[in-house]
Structure 1
Amino acid sequence: MGPGRFVWRLGDALSVRVDARAAVVTTVLVLAALATGVVALGLGDYTVPVPDVLGALAGTLDGPARTVVVGWRLPRVLLALLLGAALAVSGAIFQSLTRNPLGSPDVIGFASGSYTGGLVAIIVLGGGYTTVAAGSLAGGLATAAAVYLLAYRRGVQGFRLIVVGIGVTALLGSLNTWLVLAAELQQAMAASAWGAGSLNGVGWPQVGPTVGVLVVLVVALGLLGRRASVLEMGDDAAHALGLAPERTRAALVVVGVAFTAVATAVAGPISFVALAAPQLARRLTRAGGTGLASAAAMGALLLVVSDVLAQRAFAPTQLPVGVVTVSIGGAYLVWLLVREARRQ
């Protein structure tokens, strides 16, 4: 093994290669995200000191503080952590597939497709959470299929996928605007509020289904993990090792879109976390590829910090968390584009 790397063996059948620096960075990011979450649980009009927050979480403190922390604020913090990780994993999948730091669901158009599916569920079908979730997933998958087919020329090349995705994103943006303008006032207001990307109003009813779906997706991604590693070596190497590249790539696209659709269904389209988190994690770990665990930890940290800023920066006015992520991510995207232009 190379310096800073070791193999962790689980019996005779399973072994995991671990990069020491990546493990340390991921652990620090997870601890920072959890610490930010604990602080967030105490912030608000009813301030709760950190020791009381910990007591409420441990079940040793009762009264109004426990109601505020566990009943009202904990679901929001949990969803910020979970959805941030989900978006980052989705971004890591697509950046690995396209081998391009711009290859995220925000840029390729899959997030816009999930948004379109959710809008149709809200405005046309008038559905609730389950219908919106199904619409987001269907819209994301339909967009992924369209982009994939349009970009296919004896295989899918990463840069072509990104260019086609940008065009599809522009088309879907126009469609989404028309859907909102053509809707009745109440539906348009609900769709606009949801479309800003917000964790306002989420609660325990959204936590259970989100955790359940994410567990299924993580298991599916784990089953595809070894194939994805082979795919990063190139299609020729994949063929030589008996792997069907297009099938594996299509399966990863479905899983990546599903991660984005889960976040979109719960909180609306939250931009730039999927774009920035994998690359920031990669720079911290100094890894040759995009690590899913480190990306997930960075995404969780980014979204929970952004949500704290959205709640407290202009208190008592609460901003949609999507406004904060767009502001941060826009600056990051400009820096990334300038950096790539200078490199070329």
Structure 2
Amino acid sequence: MNIPYRNRSGTAPFAANKKRAAVIAALTVITAALFLGGLSVGSTMLNPVDVVIHLAGAGNGDLAFAVDTVRLPRMVLAMLAGAALGVAGLIMQGVVRNPLGSPDVIGVTGGASFAAVFFMTYLSGTVGIGWLPVAAIAGASAVSALIYSLAWKRGVSPVRLVLVGIGLAAFTGALTTTMIVMSDIDSALSAYLWLTGSVYGATWSDVYALLPWTAVLIPLSVFYSRAAGVMELGDETASGLGVRVQAHRLSMLAICVALAGSAVAYAGGIGFVGLIAPHMARKLIGRPFGPNVAASALIGGTIVAAADVVARTAFLPLDIPAGVFVSGIGAPFFIYLLYRSRHRPA
């Protein structure tokens, strides 16, 4: 008799919400600690206390170049890109109702990569490299529209969406590889570095360009919390409960494409973040979509920022692309998910 009473009184939901708030608070503390650590380590080691004093505006200015010009924009850009990819992956997995769904697996990242490599190979000398992010976002949007149109048959089912997306991801990947092979050595090296994923050389202009996308679209995704939760029950059930399934699916996909495309545009083709972050968030938070948005953003940002810190400090004086370390974690994680799905009881 105690359990029904607790449910009617709201004690159990309150305890669950309290736990989720504690998890998000803990993730925030971890992210802040990593952020401070990332500003302190490098070719020149800095005292974290001095860094905090400098950020508070009470320093003597000796740290201005190392912190303000080199490390701070790089850390901020890494966390923004990781947050965008984490939330994009959460949305994608909810839309396709598949734990293996993510922007890079379904083909969104492949579209951005194809457009970016095409731009660097054929247009950067005439148009200007500043238009590269626009090309990447346009490529992600175009391929996503093609995926959606090819998957349409009296509506879009998650299964068709996944199958068409994987096919187009393979196709755009082949085209991208062909362009790299056929381009000159300088263009090929630039394209390969970009495809690997790196925030090397990040500037405040990159941060200011990516910030509006994340600041607007991540909170906007919370607006679809109820629809996302109901759509997990299936299209027929969601329609019966009054959810406009196709309209909400299209809107959520648009947010996913914009987040993934903008992140890839400024941080390169960093893979697996959209796969790992949502799984870790659901493990810690549970099923509710709204709290998972915050958790996925924090975890995604932490993953990319931590990978970049390791990439630029572990092999000094070399600066390895952060995407190498993310893929080193993501590939085994993907195999683990496949194994678990295969051996899950029917």
Q: Please give the TM-score of this superposition, normalised by the length of structure 1.
A: 0.90
Amino acid at match of 2:261: A
Q: Higher helix proportion, which one?
A: 2
Report if the CA contact (8 A) 2:229-2:288 is conserved. Answer: no
Query: Paired residue for 1:21, among 19, 22, 29?
Result: 19
- Give the secondary structure class of the aligned counterpart of 1:173: helix
Determine whether 1:151 maps to 2:155.
Answer: no
Partner of 2:309: 308
User: Per-residue CA shift, 1:112-171, capped at 9, x if unaligned?
Assistant: 111112122222221445421221111111111222233333333323322222221111
Partner of 2:216: 216
- Give the secondary structure class of the aligned counterpart of 2:343: helix
Report if the CA contact (8 A) 1:30-1:301 is conserved. Answer: no
Partner of 1:51: 49
User: Per-residue CA shift, 1:169-221, capped at 9, x if unaligned?
Assistant: 11111100111222233322222221110111111111111112222323543
Report if the CA contact (8 A) 2:273-2:330 is conserved. Answer: yes
Q: CA deviation at 1:302?
A: 1.1
- Give the secondary structure class of the aligned counterpart of 2:209: helix
CA distance in 1, matches of 2:108, 2:215: 21
Deviates more, 1:247-256 or 1:148-157: 148-157
Q: CA deviation at 1:48?
A: 0.6
CA distance in 2, matches of 1:104, 1:129: 28
- Give the secondary structure class of the aligned counterpart of 1:33: helix
Distance 1:130 1:5, change over 3 A: farther
CA distance in 2, matches of 1:3, 1:196: 48
Report if the CA contact (8 A) 2:218-2:293 is conserved. Answer: no
Partner of 2:262: 262
CA distance in 2, matches of 1:327, 1:202: 23
- Give the secondary structure class of the aligned counterpart of 2:63: helix
Where do residues 58-207 of structure 1 align in structure 2 (5 Å cutoff)? 58-126=56-124, 127-128=127-128, 130-207=130-207
How much is the aligned-residue C-alpha RMSD, in angstroms? Answer: 2.1
Report if the CA contact (8 A) 1:122-1:191 is conserved. Answer: yes
Q: CA deviation at 1:289?
A: 5.3
Q: CA deviation at 1:226?
A: 4.0
Q: Please give the TM-score of this superposition, normalised by the length of structure 2.
A: 0.90
Partner of 1:14: none
CA distance in 2, matches of 1:128, 1:39: 35
Report if the CA contact (8 A) 2:281-2:299 is conserved. Answer: yes
Amino acid at match of 2:310: L
CA distance in 1, matches of 2:168, 2:11: 44
CA distance in 1, matches of 2:143, 2:129: 21
Deviates more, 1:270-279 or 1:244-253: 244-253
Deviates more, 1:207-216 or 1:89-98: 207-216
Deviates more, 1:135-144 or 1:319-328: 135-144
Deviates more, 1:167-176 or 1:143-152: 143-152
Distance 1:128 1:251, change over 3 A: farther
- Give the secondary structure class of the aligned counterpart of 1:125: helix
Where do residues 267-278 of structure 1 align in structure 2 (5 Å cutoff)? 267-278=267-278
Distance 1:129 1:239, change over 3 A: farther
CA distance in 1, matches of 2:81, 2:118: 22
- Give the secondary structure class of the aligned counterpart of 1:343: coil
Q: CA deviation at 1:242?
A: 4.0
Amino acid at match of 1:186: D
- Give the secondary structure class of the aligned counterpart of 1:314: coil
Determine whether 1:5 maps to 2:5.
Answer: no
Amino acid at match of 2:342: A
Q: CA deviation at 1:337?
A: 1.1
User: Per-residue CA shift, 1:255-280, capped at 9, x if unaligned?
Assistant: 10110111111111100010000001
Report if the CA contact (8 A) 1:277-1:298 is conserved. Answer: yes
Partner of 1:338: 339
Amino acid at match of 2:231: L
Unaligned runs of 5+ in 1: 8-17
Partner of 1:36: 34
CA distance in 1, matches of 2:128, 2:235: 42
Report if the CA contact (8 A) 1:311-1:317 is conserved. Answer: yes
Partner of 2:284: 284
Deviates more, 1:159-168 or 1:333-342: 159-168
Q: CA deviation at 1:95?
A: 0.4
CA distance in 2, matches of 1:311, 1:99: 37
CA distance in 1, matches of 2:160, 2:316: 44
Q: CA deviation at 1:6?
A: 3.7
Distance 1:245 1:32, change over 3 A: same
- Give the secondary structure class of the aligned counterpart of 1:311: helix
- Give the secondary structure class of the aligned counterpart of 1:5: helix
Deviates more, 1:309-318 or 1:268-277: 309-318
Amino acid at match of 2:263: A
Distance 1:320 1:28, change over 3 A: same
